[in-house]
Amino acid sequence: MSNAVAGRGDSVAGRGRLAGAGVDWGWAGGETGGVAETRFGSCTLCEALCGLEFQVDSGRVLSIKGDRLDPLSRGHICPKGVALQDLHEGERLRTPVRKTADGWEEISWDEAFDLVVERLAAIRNEHGRNAVGVYLGNPTVHSLGALTHGTTFLSLLRTRNRFSATSVDQLPHQLVASLMFGHQFLIPIPDIDRTDFFLVIGANPMVSNGSIMTVPDFARRRAELRERGGRMVVVDPRRTETAKIADTHHFIRPGTDAALLLAMVGVVLEKVEGYDEVREIVEPITVEWAESVTGVTGIRALAQEFAAADTAVAYGRTGVSTQAHGAVCQWAIQVLNVITGNLDRPGGAMFTKPAVDLLRITSAGGRDRWRSSVRGLSEFAGELPVAALAEEIGGIRAMVVSAGNPVLSTPDGGKLDKALSTLDFMVAVDPKINETTKHADVILPPTTALERDHYDLVFHALAVRNTAKFSPALFPKPAGARHDWEIFRELGLRYAKRFRDKWFKAQLLRLSPTRIVDLLLRTGSRKLSLRTLKKHPHGLDLGPLTPRGLDKLDIAPKFLADAAREVGKMTAPQGLLLIGRRHLRANNSWMNDIPRLTKGKARSHLLMHPDDLKGHGLGDGDSVRVRSAAGEVTATVAATEDIMPGVVSLPHGYAEVSANDLTDPAVLDVSGNAVLNGVPVTVSAA
Ligand SMILES: Nc1nc2c(c(=O)[nH]1)N[C@H]1C(S)=C(S)[C@@H](COP(=O)(O)OP(=O)(O)OC[C@H]3O[C@@H](n4cnc5c(=O)[nH]c(N)nc54)[C@H](O)[C@@H]3O)O[C@H]1N2
Ligand SMILES: Nc1nc2c(c(=O)[nH]1)N[C@H]1C(S)=C(S)[C@@H](COP(=O)(O)OP(=O)(O)OC[C@H]3O[C@@H](n4cnc5c(=O)[nH]c(N)nc54)[C@H](O)[C@@H]3O)O[C@H]1N2
Ligand code: SF4
Ligand SMILES: [Mo]
């Protein structure tokens, strides 16, 4: 890799392994007024759930380190965890603001709640329930209160125009889980701590720290895999930080993974009996054809090696869910796990047994109960594809946006930017004025992660080991501040007074998130309680994943089988294809204003192979114009041998060069998920 960030990422692996413990990114700052106090908690910035050890004094953070006694993260921390302090102390909204002709004006919470409810109710009365739209961003799942109370508030709105970051992310996983296993969150997790063969397709856990696989300290777990004689193979169009520590890395042409995976399934089935409904689907897919389309050689050997391993697990993440055949990829990955006997057994793809049963508190799924009004796109689990949001504005007259930035994170953000400016009303729940919330009439800022209690309802249920942890707020919230849940409680109770159709449901908002967690823990399969968890400040170890037994296993659901039959029509892509990229010291569209994380080289550059640069008459560092069917951006190009020829890479979430000005909302996976990788582009001198 040609940039400094990758270097840093590599050193994580090295130091982590040598020290035999997590890397210490700890930072000490601030003045010690009295006696520093040690406190424990968890980081909520990504899915890894790292345990943290804080030194605090007089209401200030002195240092943040990884908690070596946390049974899941074992001391791991990344630079973002340390930046929790900057998020807490840095510039952000602390009181509600209202947009006026002269700019933003601070208003009281009471005024703000009244204004928001008044406007939402008026628009619903005039235009109907679906005239109020909702977008929930990624940090929603990392905030206990946003989950417990935000979702209740949204159900009071009774709108079909619900959107979230799900459809630019893991929608294919949820669809496949619901169709194959009977619940959208019954998603198999790699048993990385026991497997002999880890196949990673379109994921970069060295940087992302794992996703739909909560895996803090990935580098150490990978080292342990090697020490016990296991192997890791990575399939990715870029030689990523994860690919660099793999035993084998295969470059693949973006968007063609379905061909690779179906061919692998075919090879495995040569030696396995049964599964006729799958055999029929993969029969037309030959290894030779798949190799010509994907650019991957040795597919037969890879499939045979996978099948022959004592235990093996295939895992694919955003690189194979946010692409043209996302649902087929996620299906074929699970088919590989099933037909090699690796589903639901140690060392394979397993299910968690969390202390709070996520399956009990979420819907099983369900699809196509309604459609978007312009393009007729199907709903899944109550949400429409966010790629349709911009075109639905018009019918939608008001938006509620919480913890998100769809102008930078969803396809053709430029179009959404314009559409948002035509709304009659918008409210944002967010501590920041970003490219999206700047369109709001009112912004309601919640407390920070250090000021609130946390129990992770989602990521314990997607982790590589069963643990449970309660993280009490590090600091009391300042007078006048509101938690996410208090904001939604107030909005919900006031709203329900006007529309009494869901009044009873609104009363649920009166329970605090911790009370809800306690009830869920007590009634969960492990019969724990908040009291028990409070006695274990580092977290409670509930052991490795255990076989679960499935009520349902539909190996070839019709919807996915039909989609898989289309894969044979694929041709080898021509021209340049754009893929994304994540950086260790960045987090989607936010945290780009934290000096501790952003120092060093700029990161929003376009990666391109030197041969392609030459072919285009360009040089390293040139300013280039990147064009797609949806739009264009200007970027600085950086040469690297780490990217496959024919592929260019741009990270998302940067206002100055937004990758989502190039992604096309017209092109979707069958699940309704956006296609963010494998976007055809041209590159020329700017
Ligand atoms: N091209 C391309 N696009 C992508 C991706 C890609 O790989 N390539 N990745 C996609 C993925 S996986 C995702 S998840 C999305 C993310 O996209 P979004 O979810 O739309 O955006 P984020 O950048 O996560 O927005 C975070 C916002 O939440 C606010 N926030 C932070 N904490 C809290 C909190 O506790 N409460 C509240 N109310 N607000 C909070 C922040 O201030 C910030 O404004 O982007 C997607 N877009
Ligand atoms: N530091 C950091 N950590 C994060 C985030 C962050 O922004 N920064 N975001 C968090 C979020 S919201 C999420 S969802 C997770 C995502 O977690 P991951 O999916 O592990 O993260 P990515 O880095 O997006 O990895 C996707 C990989 O897919 C590859 N890829 C692109 N197109 C294709 C393709 O067509 N085929 C194949 N086989 N590979 C392809 C990319 O090169 C990239 O290496 O990360 C989370 N963790
Ligand atoms: S890896 Fe994720 S959970 Fe761990 S410290 Fe970094 S951002 Fe926080
Ligand atoms: Mo995500």
Which pLDDT tens digit goes with each residue over 492-541? 999 999 998 888 899 999 999 999 999 999 999 999 999 999 999 999 99
Contact 260, 291 (CB under 8 A): no
pLDDT score recorded for residue 54: 98
User: Tokens 């004025």 map to which residue?
Assistant: 433
Rounded to whole angstroms, the Cα distance separating 296 from 309 reads 21
Burial of 103 (0-12, 13-18, 19+ CB in 10 A): exposed
| Ligand 3 binding pocket includes 80 (Cβ within 6 Å) | yes
Nearest CA to ligand 3 atom 2: 46
pLDDT at 25: 37
Does any ligand 2 atom lie closer than 6 A to the CB of residue 166?
no
Confidence of residue 19 (pLDDT cuts 50, 70, 90): very low
pLDDT in tens, 347-390: 999 999 999 999 999 999 999 999 999 999 999 999 999 999 99
Ligand 3 midpoint to CA 43 (Å): 6
Residues 305-326 have a mean pLDDT of 98
Q: Judge contact between 674 and 612, C-beta under 8 A.
A: no
Cα(309) to centroid(ligand 2), Å:
26
User: Environment class of residue 420 by beta-carbon count within 10 Å: exposed (0-12), middle (13-18) or buried (19+)?
Assistant: buried
CB of 643 shorter than 6 A to ligand 2: no
User: What pLDDT sits at residue 27?
Assistant: 39
Q: What is the mean pLDDT of residues 418-424?
A: 98
- Sorted by sequence, the CB contacts under 8 Å of residue 633 that are 6+ apart come out as 625, 626, 650, 657, 658, 659, 661, 662
136 close to 143: Cβ distance less than 8 angstroms: no
Residue 640, CB-side half-sphere exposure with 13 Å CA sphere = 22
45 lines ligand 1 (CB under 6 A): no
Q: How far apart are the two ends of the chain, measured CA to CA in Å?
A: 24
pLDDT tier for residue 600 given thresholds of 50, 70 and 90: confident
Query: Is 93-159+393-456+470-538 a domain of CATH 3.30.70.270?
Result: no
Averaged pLDDT for residues 255-277: 98
Q: Cα(139) to centroid of ligand 4, in Å?
A: 9
Within this chain, domains 3-90 and 93-159+393-456+470-538 share the same CATH topology:
no
| Cα–Cα nearest to 344, from 222, 187, 570 | 187
Fold of 574-685: Barwin-like endoglucanases (2.40.40)
Q: 510 C-alpha to center of ligand 4: Å?
A: 30
Q: Ligand 2 in contact with 350 (CB < 6 A)?
A: no
Establish whether residue 45 lines the binding site of ligand 3, counting it when its CB lies within 6 angstroms of any ligand atom: yes
Residue 587 DSSP SS3: strand
Q: Which helix (H) or strand (E) holds 135?
A: strand 132-136
Side chain identity at residue 102, one-letter code: D
Going from the Cα of 88 to the center of ligand 4, the distance in angstroms, rounded, reads: 22
With cut-offs at 50, 70 and 90, classify the pLDDT of residue 602.
confident
Axis-axis angle for helices 299-308, 257-269 (nearest 10): 60
Cα–Cα distance for residue pair 307/305, rounded to 1 Å = 5
Q: Provide the residue ranges of all domains of the chain, joining segments of one domain with +.
A: 3-90, 93-159+393-456+470-538, 161-389+457-469+540-569, 574-685
Is the sign of the CA dihedral 591, 593, 595, 600 positive or negative? positive
> Does 78 sit in the ligand 3 pocket, CB within 6 Å?
yes
If you take atom 38 of ligand 2, which residue's CA is the nearest one? 202
Task: Please give the CATH architecture assigned to the domain spanning 3-90.
Answer: Single Sheet (2.20)
User: DSSP secondary structure string, 21-72?
Assistant: S-----EE-S---S--EEEEEE--SSTT--EEEEEEETTEEEEEEE-TT-TT
Cβ of 143 less than 6 Å from ligand 1: yes
Confidence label for 33 from pLDDT (cuts 50, 70 and 90): low
Q: Please state which architecture CATH assigns to domain 161-389+457-469+540-569.
A: 3-Layer(aba) Sandwich (3.40)
Structure tokens at 333: 């990955």
- Cα separation, 174 vs 372, in Å, equals 19
Smallest Cα–Cα separation from 204: which of 176, 246, 171? Answer: 246
Ligand 2: distance of its center to the CA of 204 in Å?
Answer: 5
Task: List, for residues 235-257, the tens digit of each pLDDT value.
Answer: 999 999 999 999 999 999 999 99
CB 314 near ligand 1, within 6 Å: no
Half-sphere exposure of residue 121, counting CA atoms within 13 Å on the CB side? 16
Who contacts 275 (Cβ-Cβ below 8 Å, separation ≥6)?
Answer: 269, 339, 555
Ligand 2 close to Cβ of residue 139 (< 6 A): no
At residue 104, what is the residue type?
W
User: Does any ligand 3 atom lie closer than 6 A to the CB of residue 77?
Assistant: yes
Amino acid at 659: A
Q: Is 187 left (phi over 0), alpha (psi -120 to 50) or beta?
A: beta
Q: Whose CA is nearest to atom 6 of ligand 3?
A: 78
Burial of 147 (0-12, 13-18, 19+ CB in 10 A): buried
Residues 362 and 185: their CA atoms lie apart, in Å, by 8
pLDDT at 501: 85
Q: Is 434 in the pocket of ligand 1 (CB under 6 A)?
A: yes
Q: Which ligand is nearest to the CA of 43?
A: 3
The rounded distance, in Å, linking the Cα atoms of 171 and 329 is: 12
In ligand 1, which atom is closest to the CA atom of 406?
20
pTM of the complete model: 0.95
Spatial contact of 354 and 49, defined as CB atoms under 8 Å apart: no
Tokens found for residue 205: 């856990």
243's CB contacts (< 8 A; 6+ apart) are 234, 236, 249
Ligand nearest to the CA of 211: 2
Ligand nearest to the backbone CA of 320? 2
507 C-beta neighbours (distance < 10 Å), count: 13
In this predicted model, what pLDDT tens digit does every residue of 574-596 receive, in sequence order?
999 999 999 999 999 999 989 99
Q: What is the chain's mean pLDDT, rounded?
A: 94
Beta carbon of 202 within 6 Å of any ligand 1 atom: no
Report how far residue 671's alpha carbon sits from residue 564's, in angstroms, rounded to the nearest whole number.
Answer: 12
Q: Which ligand 3 atom lies nearest to the CA of residue 25?
A: 5
Contact 264, 336 (CB under 8 A): yes
Give Cα separations from 621 to 6, 169, 605, 609, 611 (angstroms): 18, 31, 9, 13, 15
Q: Tell me if 402 CB under 6 Å of ligand 1.
A: yes
User: In 628-678, which ranges are E strands?
Assistant: 632-639, 647-649
Residue 35 confidence class, pLDDT cut points 50, 70, 90: confident
pLDDT band at 601 (very low <50, low <70, confident <90, very high): confident
52 bridge partner residues? 41, 66
370 CA to centre of ligand 2 in angstroms: 30
Q: State the ligand closest to the CA atom of 87.
A: 1
Instruction: Compute the distance between CA of residue 59 and CA of residue 308 in angstroms, rounded to an integer.
Output: 56
